[in-house]
Amino acid sequence: MAAVHTLTDGQVVAIDGKTLRGSYNRDDRSSTIHMISAYSSSNNLVFGQLKTEQKSNEITAIPELIRLLDIKGALVTIDAMACQTEIAKTIIQQGGDYLLAVKSNQSTLRKAVETAFQSNVIVHLRALN
Kindly report the CATH number assigned to the domain that includes residue 65.
Answer: 3.30.420.10
4, part of any domain: no
126, part of any domain: no
110, part of any domain: no
42, part of any domain: yes
> Residue 127 — pLDDT band, cuts 50, 70, 90?
low
116, part of any domain: no
98, part of any domain: yes
Contact of 95 with 31, CB cutoff 8 Å: no
Percent of the chain residues past pLDDT 90, beyond the cut? 29
120, part of any domain: no
Which H helix or E strand runs over 63?
Answer: helix 58-67
Give the pLDDT of residue 1. Answer: 45
The residue range of the domain holding 77 is 12-102
Give the pLDDT of residue 112. Answer: 87
Strand order in the sheet with 33-40: 45-52, 33-40, 12-20, 75-78, 97-100
2, part of any domain: no
Which H helix or E strand runs over 75?
Answer: strand 75-78
How many domains does the chain divide into? Answer: 1
Cα separation, 3 vs 108, whole angstroms: 41
Angle made by CA atoms 91, 14, 64, in degrees to the nearest 5: 45
